[in-house]
A = this chain, B = another copy of it.
């Protein structure tokens, strides 16, 4: 099956400087994939030439005259930037010219535009952001990462369902296990919404494993961890902060004396392996899940390797047809007039 991915070439902190070479890299790695770059035609032309890319049916440009700024209000981007590289990329899914799109741009704007243009799947109230995170046993998926705040118990159930379908599609896990993020049994057992979501999940057909705590995410106890977007975003960002702190400590430890610096040199190949495992680029590419289409959000500061990874995620999800699977899962319950 040939897939076509639209790339918002002007999005992210580095824009086409990163996205054009990433596109050329991906085309050299996989067959049966077409990429459409959306953005300033002249600039993209020059960059493709510079990176020895070949324009043709595998790599094409769709001109867009505007660009959504990283700090622009989503509502404004939606209203005013109708010819932005982001909007044009999403439109290509709507018209059927592309199967998916990848953007490193403004997350709020991407969510707002994707929701407006593509609509959510029947039975899904709100799309969510989901991403893979490393664990001691491999990786797990965490959602929502910030698309929704004050999620209701029903929203949390829908997140669980979408996560389950996604993990099944991407990792071929037959019946992915789901944990609901909560705080220690020691203290107050969660808030009302979490307790209610626990009841819904316990009676669902999903492989629900009960409550998990923040540290369980990285233990790999479950395949999917479900939480409200405010909580998930804080968990993700705190984790990034700790990882940076640890690297800072490690660097400091090797710079205490000439002796430790020499050891540091010797240890470089070992630490290279360590850094590779810690490399957030290996996990670049979050999903805006719950939409009528595959929309992948790359980190704004993604480099060529990281952005290429996000494109690969889009290819896999398109080939596995994730939105269709979510719909298929929801259908029997929709007939009965309710999701749960």
Contacts and interface: CB of A to CB of B under 8 A. Distances in A.
Interface of A: 70-71, 106-108, 111, 134-136, 146-150, 181, 183-188, 190-192, 213-219, 227, 229-231, 233-246, 248-250, 252-254, 256, 260, 263-264, 266-267, 269-271, 273-274, 277-278
Number of identical protomers: 2
A187 B218 contact: no
19 contacts: A107-B187, A108-B187, A108-B188, A111-B187, A146-B187, A147-B188, A183-B237, A187-B229, A188-B229, A213-B237, A214-B235, A218-B242, A234-B234, A238-B242, A239-B241, A242-B246, A246-B278, A263-B270, A266-B267
Contact of A190 (B136, B149, B215, B256): B149
Given A230-B190, A253-B271, A273-B256, A183 B238 contact: no
A254 to B, nearest CB: 6
Contacts of A229: 183, 187-188
A150 B301 CA distance: 33
Contact of A249 (B230, B242, B274): B274
Contacts of A219: 241, 244
Given A108-B188, A263-B270, A136 B214 contact: no
B253 A241 contact: no
A238 B254 contact: no
B270 A253 contact: yes
Given A231-B230, A235-B235, A215 B188 contact: no
Contacts of A243: 242, 246
Contact of A260 (B184, B188, B245, B270): B270
Nearest to A254: B270
B234 A183 contact: yes
